Structure 1
């Protein structure tokens, strides 16, 4: 039975993190950036500080104060979870899961396309074998290989696509 790092991590206990309103200091500041004139004029950017740890979060994702308050608390909870639980935090586990998925996709793709095309090693081995076979063959007549080279040139003529040359000749005639 295989034991993965994830199994060992699961055996360790993850500490549940809760935010108490008494541990938070919330202030509202003017925002900046995208959102037009209203963002710059209105104090709807939330600055949230967790007093026991000193973690600070600033949020101005939306133009509304209520939306920013909710988003800031969510972000602070995530940061606090990362700090307390480390690699066992929800955010870290999500990143690890995505990393494993990506690695699996790459491995599957590599395996899939390796079947259809020979690897460089196989190509090099194949070339080396052909050269050895040619060297081992002796001419039955004991003559030079000049005639064999002429035969190879004839083979090249057979490989030429006639339709392709007709098309090229029409273009060059214009």
Structure 2
């Protein structure tokens, strides 16, 4: 199976799952948002943490688990937003005191706000569903076009250690 065929098959499967959970909403969609939050933070730490570096141990990950639990639990936005601020502040303070893990707080903020925004938008009425479907369409179309333009035009490698074929 070629690289393009594999991408197409995996995209179809993931699109069906994502669109189905988005349509259903509620707890299933919040679980999807939790997976998105975890994936964003994982990718962030892969890019920002030096290999073999000792950082904040597992503090950022533990705080992320607390946030994900609150998100899945359906905590109101009036509680989730201060929780995000608190975990980001705690991580930033710990990084400052230990003089390490300087990007972890930014990664927590980025991941948590991304998932929280999707969850809160979908918890709304029908217009929230339409907004999320539009967002998915724009992101997917941009990604697909970027893939084909990158293959056709090429260019210098952007970040070979992270994504070897990305131009």
Q: Which has the higher contact order (CA 8 A, sep 6+)?
A: 2
The bucket for the TM-score relative to the shorter chain is under 0.3
TM-score, normalised to structure 2, is: 0.26
Where is the helix percentage greater, Structure 1 or Structure 2? 2
Pick the structure with greater CA Rg. 1
